[in-house]
Amino acid sequence: MCGIIGYIGHKNAVPILLDGLARLEYRGYDSSGLSVMNGRGNLRILKKVGPLANLVKLIEPLHLDSSIGLGHTRWATHGRPLDHNAHPHGDCIGSIAVIHNGIIENFQELKEALQKKGHRFSSDTDTEMIAHEIEETLAKDKVTLEEAVRKTLQKLKGTYALGVMHQAYPDLLIAARKGSPLVIGLGKDENFIASDVSPLLTETRKVIYLQDEQMAVLKRNECKVKNLLGRTVRSKIDHVSWNLDQAEKGGFEKFMLKEIHEQPGILKNVWMGRIDLKKGSVRFESEILTSLQIKVIRRVIIIACGTAYYAGLCGKYILEHYTNIPVEVDLGSEFRYRPIKVSRGTLVIAVSQSGETADTLASIRKAKELGCRVLSIVNVVGSTLTRESHSVIYTQAGPEIGVASTKAYLTQLAAFYLLSVYLGRAKHQMPDDVAETLLSELVKIPDKIQWVLDHQESIKACAKKYYRAKSSFYLGRGFNYPTALEGALKNKEISYSHAEAYAAGEMKHGPIALIDKTFPVVCICTRGSVYEKMISNVKEIQARRGKLIIIANSKDRVLEELADDRIEVPETLEELSPLVNVIPLQLLAYYLALYRGCDIDRPRNLAKSVTVE
Ligand code: M6R
């Protein structure tokens, strides 16, 4: 996720900004940059792709000294990680600098309107448009910088945490927030802005958390918080007591827990600009398939590894249900070595958080040689997979630091739901009412996930009760069979206790032999077409005295009686239930690992990205 730091005061901003950027590195980034004033009162923007050291090398020989400045670490969402896409972004004449975290949904139409007025753009980002819009408003409306920023903000749809400076206003720094976090740091004769408190801790502990649709107008010895109508609003000054480690994790114990809690917000962002409730349709940032390419699709092969493979397996249930296209799912390590026949009309979908997984990459190279079209679902913009695929759907999960994938999995599922609407509508397989029901329920999912996050006590209690178990089963059916697989993988990889998932109907074909009165079995039993079948499987376990941990919807009297431990989740469409049901399993794995004293963010023997075969 992009990092923001800004300074206005009586010291040289350059070392403060560079130090702040170094403290923001933990968030993950692909490029960095800063803007300051040089000795002649001109704005300088310096930026570089790659590690922060590249930027430092560029800046050091210049011996810049400026009492105002903005710094940014970028994690690409629009446009590849290249020098010209790094922030800050400027206007046509280089007098404005803007840094931004978030996604501007309507940037394309605003950009086109500005281009028609003669503005020249030098990046592929949504952010640059903001600098030009401010430039245009300043020139056209003859207003102050503060007023021009406010008028610009009123035009933006989407999310932003922004920092703005202008060479004609060397004593003014403007910040604004909607949807993306932004903190103001208050010092003595100096003020700061930052995307989180971690870069501020060495400078000040007095902060204001800016609220949505608020602007901060900062001078060296003044901080005014205003709403988007320009009225000053009262804001609370907080005192931060966190140390740096706590601050980087947003106050959570571990990155994994932080990332689990980020999921509702991320999902809202994923829907933003893509779901059109009025039209009952979905659009992506760029064309992923032409109408002819969609028309000829007869078969889909999904390829992935690990958690992404389980997302792909769920993708099969989703795509087959909503589009009627037959789907196979293969592991990258299998597909690449098996003889495979493809015909015209085979679409290969590769799924990967990192976009660098060796087996997935080798598989898509093979698929391309066989003449297949390759569409990828990827988190990391600019990764090898994005470059080698014909088209890409970005999952927009932001950088995932915990080795155990959580938000990446959820957003991979989200991509499959969006794709199913996109293909289902285009292939006339999804009637209006089905699209309407699906999309209107999708936008409610973030709140349902939030509900699970707010009711973790039963999950913690379960973990406390069972953390000594040597082995456990995870059972699900239909859409939630992949959820069970993902839950068991999370359990294994971070708590180092054995866990196995089965399609519940498979139990009596062998695994049930292991059940005794000490054996925990996690059963996903939310309401839907396979509910009764799950109840039968639950009774089979109960008859063998296995310990039943049941994920259920509220007011389920049957399960209340059968369960040893019950974890409640809000009800949704059966087809969408994997998005909600995976959350308690992520948390269960987390707390099991915590009670077992494991290194949750860096589990032994595992790497975040598996770039070798
Ligand atoms: O980067 P990718 O999504 O391609 O990675 C695939 C797997 O290595 C990854 O999902 C792995 O299984 C995770 N550690 C699971 O939490």
pLDDT digits (tens, 9 = 90+) for 219-239: 999 999 999 999 999 998 988
The CB density around residue 323, as the number of other CB atoms within 10 Å, is: 23
> Of 185, 208, 214, 187, which is closest to residue 198 (Cα–Cα)?
185
Which amino acids bring their CB within 6 angstroms of ligand 1?
305-308, 352-354, 357, 360, 403-405, 493, 606, 609-610
Going by alpha carbons, the residue nearest to atom 10 of ligand 1 is 307
Beta strands, E only, 517-604: 520-524, 547-552, 565-568
Residue 613: its pLDDT value, please? 67
Which atom of ligand 1 sits closest to the CA of residue 404? 16
What is the pLDDT averaged over residues 592-600?
A: 96
Return the SS3 of 574: helix
- Find where tokens 């570089």 sit: 48
DSSP per residue over 446-494, as a string?
HHHHHHHHH--HHHHHHHHHHTT-SEEEEEE-GGGHHHHHHHHHHHHHH
What is the pLDDT averaged over residues 71-84?
A: 88
Which atom of ligand 1 sits closest to the CA of residue 304? 4
Which stretch of DSSP H or E encloses residue 15?
helix 13-24
Q: Which residues contact 451 (CB under 8 A, 6 or more apart)?
A: 569, 570
CA 83 to centroid of ligand 1, rounded, Å: 29
Instruction: Compute and round to an integer the Cα radius of gyration of the chain.
Output: 26
Residue 215: its pLDDT value, please? 97
Residue 293: its pLDDT value, please? 96
The CB density around residue 428, as the number of other CB atoms within 10 Å, is: 8
Choosing from 260, 303, 354 the residue with most ligand 1 atoms within 8 A of its CB, the one to mutate for a pocket test is 354
Give the rounded distance of the alpha carbon of 498 from its chain centre: 29
Token pair of 49 as six digits: 């792709």
Token pair of 338 as six digits: 């098996």
pLDDT at 552 over 70: yes
For the chain, what is the mean pLDDT?
94
- Weakest mean pLDDT among 231-245, 452-466, 519-533: 231-245
What is the pLDDT averaged over residues 541-560?
A: 92
Which stretch of DSSP H or E encloses residue 164?
strand 160-166
pLDDT at 514 over 80: yes
pLDDT at 148 over 90: yes
What is the pLDDT averaged over residues 66-79?
A: 90
Which residue type, as a one-letter code, is found at position 405? S
Going by alpha carbons, the residue nearest to atom 9 of ligand 1 is 306
Q: pLDDT tier at 609 (50, 70, 90 boundaries)?
A: confident
What is the total residue count of the chain? 613
Which atom of ligand 1 sits closest to the CA of residue 306? 12
CA–CA gap between residue 512 and residue 501 (Å, rounded): 12
% the chain with pLDDT above 90: 84
Choosing from 405, 409, 492, 606 the residue with most ligand 1 atoms within 8 A of its CB, the one to mutate for a pocket test is 405
Going by alpha carbons, the residue nearest to atom 14 of ligand 1 is 404
% the chain with pLDDT above 70: 99
> Of 195, 208, 202, which is closest to residue 244 (Cα–Cα)?
202
> Of 509, 432, 447, 433, which is closest to residue 475 (Cα–Cα)?
509
Which atom of ligand 1 sits closest to the CA of residue 405? 16
CA 312 to centroid of ligand 1, rounded, Å: 12
- Find where tokens 């009764």 sit: 532
Cα 540 to Cα 367, 516, 550: the distances in Å are 43, 12, 14
CA–CA gap between residue 164 and residue 70 (Å, rounded): 8
Helices 577-595/407-426 angle, 10° precision: 170
Return the SS3 of 294: helix
Write the Ramachandran bin of 2: left for phi over 0, alpha for psi from -120 to 50, otherwise beta.
beta
Going by alpha carbons, the residue nearest to atom 4 of ligand 1 is 352
CA–CA gap between residue 23 and residue 46 (Å, rounded): 19
CA 605 to centroid of ligand 1, rounded, Å: 13
What is the pLDDT averaged over residues 281-293?
A: 94
CA 425 to centroid of ligand 1, rounded, Å: 31
CA 401 to centroid of ligand 1, rounded, Å: 12
Task: Write out pLDDT tens, residues 379-420.
Answer: 988 788 998 999 999 999 988 889 999 999 999 999 999 999
Going by alpha carbons, the residue nearest to atom 7 of ligand 1 is 306
pLDDT at 373 over 80: yes
Degrees (nearest 5) of the Cα angle 390, 77, 577?
80
- Find where tokens 């359990």 sit: 491
CA–CA gap between residue 311 and residue 96 (Å, rounded): 43
SS3 track for 382-409? CCHHHHHCCEEEECCCCCCCCCCCCHHH
Choosing from 335, 351, 353, 490 the residue with most ligand 1 atoms within 8 A of its CB, the one to mutate for a pocket test is 353
Helices 107-116/128-141 angle, 10° precision: 50
Dihedral of CA 243/244/247/253: which sign?
negative
Degrees (nearest 5) of the Cα angle 501, 502, 503?
140
Residue 271: its pLDDT value, please? 93
pTM comes to 0.84
CA 285 to centroid of ligand 1, rounded, Å: 25
Which atom of ligand 1 sits closest to the CA of residue 610? 8
Choosing from 302, 305, 492 the residue with most ligand 1 atoms within 8 A of its CB, the one to mutate for a pocket test is 305
CA 106 to centroid of ligand 1, rounded, Å: 33
Token pair of 506 as six digits: 């498979």
With beta carbons less than 8 A apart as the criterion, state whether 569 and 452 touch: yes
Going by alpha carbons, the residue nearest to atom 11 of ligand 1 is 306
Residue 2: its pLDDT value, please? 85
Task: Write out pLDDT tens, residues 186-220.
Answer: 999 999 999 988 899 889 999 999 999 999 999 99
CA 192 to centroid of ligand 1, rounded, Å: 37
Residue 251: its pLDDT value, please? 86
Active site residues: 2, 608
Residue 25: its pLDDT value, please? 87
What is the pLDDT averaged over residues 340-349?
A: 91
Which atom of ligand 1 sits closest to the CA of residue 606? 14
DSSP 86: S
Determine phi and psi for 274, rounding to 5 degrees.
-110, -35
Which atom of ligand 1 sits closest to the CA of residue 307? 10
Task: Write out pLDDT tens, residues 230-275.
Answer: 999 999 898 887 887 787 888 899 999 999 999 999 999 999 889 9
Determine phi and psi for 180, rounding to 5 degrees.
-110, 140
Q: pLDDT tier at 301 (50, 70, 90 boundaries)?
A: very high
Token pair of 20 as six digits: 């702040």
CA 602 to centroid of ligand 1, rounded, Å: 13
